[in-house]
Amino acid sequence: AIRMTQSPSSFSASIGDRVTITCRASQGISSYLAWYQQKPGKAPKLLIYAASTLESGVPSRFSGSGSGTDFTLTISSLQSEDFATYYCQQYYSYPRTFGQGTRLEIK
Partner 1 sequence: EVRLLESGGGLVQPGGSLRLSCAASGFTFSNSAMGWVRQAPGQGLEWVSVMSGSGDNIYYTDSVKGRFTISRDNSENTVYLQMNSLRVEDTAVYYCAKDREVLGCSDYWGQGTLVTVSS
**Residues forming the site for partner 1 (CB under 8 A):** 1, 32, 34, 36, 38, 43-46, 49, 55, 87, 89, 91, 94-101
Q: CB-wise, 13 or 58, nearer to partner 1?
A: 58
Residue 54, CB-side half-sphere exposure with 13 Å CA sphere: 10
Query: From the CB of 14, what's the least distance to partner 1, in Å?
Result: 25
Considering the complex, state which of residue 75 and residue 99 has its C-beta at the smaller distance from partner 1.
99
Minimum Å distance from CB 76 to partner 1? Answer: 22
Count Cβ neighbours within 10 Å for each residue of 78-92 and write b for 16 or more, e otherwise: beeebbbbbbbbbee
Let me know: does 66 contact 74? Beta carbons within 8 Å. Answer: no
